[in-house]
Every structure is written in C-alpha cells, then in structure tokens.
Amino acid sequence: MIEAEGLTKFYGPIAAIKDVTFQVEKGEIVGFLGPNGAGKSTTIRILTCYMPPTAGTARVDGLDCMERSLEIRKKIGYLPENVPLYRDSTVRRFLRFAASAKGIPGGKVEKEVRRVMGMCGLEKEANRIISHLSKGYRQRVGIAQALVSDPPVLVLDEPTIGLDPTQIVEIRRLVQELGHNRTILLSSHILPEVAQICGRVLIISKGEIVATDSPKNLTSQLQKTARIMLEVSAPSPEIVAGLEKIRGVQRVEAATEGTGKFTIEADPTTDVRPEIARMVVERGAGLLELRAVQLSLEEIFMQLVTREEVAEKAPSLEGSSQVEVAE
C-alpha cells in the first residue's frame, strides 16, 4: 500500500535521507521511529506529496507520488505533528471546510462531519471555537480532519501529543480500530505506545533505515542473554552466591540494595528458572516473583541507534554503517 524505494533527499549539500526503502502492506499498522533529525519528517512529507525526493520513488496504492500527486492525496489522511487548524473557527465549521476541500458533495458534508466527530469524541465540542479547546481536543480535531472522506491510508505524526492519559488510551483504541481496514504509518516518540499499537516498526537513524521488523523479532535478534527478574522476601548474601553458582547464570545485579529484587542475565539456550526457584525455596528466602523479561522497544531503539553511531565512527569496517535486521 505504501512503497518507498531508494528515497534520497538533499537540502543543499546535506542528505536528510539516503536510499530509504521499505513497504507497508494493506491493513498494517507500522510505527516509524527515529531520533530528532533522523529523517522521519522528510520521508513523511515525500510520501504525502508535500515535497519531491531528490532521487528514488514513492508509491501509495500503486500510484507514483511524483506523477499522480492529486490522486494520492485523496487516498491519504494526514495528521502532521503541528496540526494546521483555523483557530477562530468552530469545530463543526472547520470540519465542514475540510470535507468540502476534500471533495465531499455538499449534501453529504454534514453527515461526514457528524461521522468523524463521533469517531473522535467531539460531539459536545462541535460549536466551540477551536482556540478555546484544550490542546488534547485540538489534537482530536486534527485527527478528525485526517479521517474526513474515509481514506484507506492514514499517516499520523505524533497523534497523542498533548493528550492526557485517558485521552491517550481513547486515541490508541481508535487507531487500533482504524487499522482493521486501513493502512497506518504512525510516527511517535512514545515508544511504549508504538509497541502496543503497531505490529511492525521501522527505525531510521541518520537518514537510513536501520531496522524493520516486529518488536518481538527484533528482541530475539538483539537480546544476547536471557533476562530474569527475581524478588525474594528475605534477601541475603547467600542468595546472590547461590544464584552465581547456578549453571548458565552469567550476571546477578541487585535492583536496589536491600529490597530483595534482582536482575539476572543467563545463557539464552538454557532455562535457569527452575534451578533459581529451587535454590530460593531451599534457603527459605520467600519467592515473591520470578519472570523472564524481554527487551523493551526503548532498549531496542537505543541499541540500534547507538550501534549506528559506533559504526559511523569506525570507517575501516566497510559496510558496517547499515544494520541489517529486516527479514
């Protein structure tokens, strides 16, 4: 549904993105992650036909972004990070304008406005001036305008920025529902949010895609040791000594001195949890918690971005600047 092939964009002598290639299939919700200045916004602007690439091609639903820009814009609902709203307008009037601008026939405009307001929880705010709304509700108006005309592709740049925790949960649920019959590319700095919503992530660093896969698959590829969380009610030096003697345990670290919480790193090919449980029970330490822990998306992100920076500082390692994690 979304295809980028060899996208490159120069601003003067500086390359904002270099040979960016990826695909987003129909019905996928894909997270687009990267540090500030990595090239996310440039890539999104090319895909939404706001600017042309210097080289490469971008296609949406099989249509070339350079050659069929107007057709593509009808297929994309776009929420930029800084939502351009007419702040002196009411919510209803602004959404009527958005519907008319997107070619909704006059007789169907009001029905479409009611539909998107209902989806975004804006019915009670319909007649309020946009400048009088909280930042969270202004963000909802931005999402509502992206949904006008029911586009098959949504590109959402920081959709929950400025929302309170309750609104974040509501918008997260809305995005998940929208993904049942739409393709969604979601850019966000809130990595736990991406992990909960997206089935796959694209990570861009210094203008290049450094990883594309599901968080689960990235974890299995990057996590070199099994990580286990242990909590006991009666911590003692004997517990640490006993853990270190278990075959396969490589490292034991107390989370906070005296709390009875430990992080254990072990050989991933051997499940050491039964031995840990047995040792704790035998010493009467009181087993409160024992569970395996996967790398978080934040840790995956930091590993990949850091690895990219290290590779850039080692020019003698030819070809090491691109981390291949894609399937």
The residues with which 90 forms a beta bridge, in sequence order, are 129
Q: List the domains of the chain with CATH numbers.
A: 2-219 (3.40.50.300), 224-293 (3.30.70.100)
Instruction: Report phi then psi at 109, rounded to 5.
Output: -60, -50
Is residue 154's pLDDT more than 50? yes
SS (H, E, C) 24-43: ECCCCEEEEECCCCCCHHHH
Looking at residue 236, what is its pLDDT?
Answer: 84
Write the pLDDT tens digit of every residue in 225-274. Answer: 888 999 999 888 888 899 999 999 999 988 776 678 999 999 888 899 99
| CA proximity to 31, closest of 218, 215, 185, 180 | 185
CA distance 244 to 149: 61
- 55 phi/psi in degrees, rounded to 5: -150, 160
Q: How far apart are CA 157 and CA 139, in angstroms?
A: 11
Nearest CA-CA partner of 152 in 175, 185, 182: 182
- What strands lie across the sheet with 55-60, from one edge to the other? 14-24, 2-11, 55-60, 63-64
For residues 38 and 257, give the distance between their C-alpha atoms in angstroms, rounded to a whole number.
Answer: 39
Residue 62 backbone zone (phi > 0: left; psi -120 to 50: alpha; other: beta): left
User: By three-state DSSP, how is residue 72 classified?
Assistant: helix
Mean pLDDT of 107-132: 94
State which H helix or E strand residue 145 sits in: helix 135-147
User: Is residue 299 predicted with pLDDT exceeding 80?
Assistant: no
Residue with tokens 């090239």: 39
Read off the pLDDT of residues 202-223 as tens digits, 9 standing for 90 and up. 999 899 999 898 887 887 777 7
Q: What is the pLDDT of residue 190?
A: 75
Average pLDDT taken over every residue of the chain? 86
Average pLDDT over residues 130-150: 91
The pair of three-digit structure tokens given for residue 43, joined into one six-digit string: 């890539």
Q: Note the pLDDT tens digit of each residue in 156-186.
A: 988 887 778 887 888 888 888 888 888 999 9
Q: What is the dihedral angle through the alpha carbons of 144, 148, 153, 154, rounded to the nearest 10 degrees?
A: -20
Structure tokens at 119: 């989806």
The pLDDT tens digits for 52-92 are 999 999 999 999 999 999 999 999 999 988 888 999 999 99
User: Helix crossing, 135-147 with 109-119: angle to 10°?
Assistant: 130
pLDDT of residue 150: 92
Look at residue 156 in the predicted model and tell me its pLDDT: 92
Q: How confident is the model at residue 323 (pLDDT cuts 50, 70, 90)?
A: very low
Answer yes or no: is pLDDT of 316 > 70. no
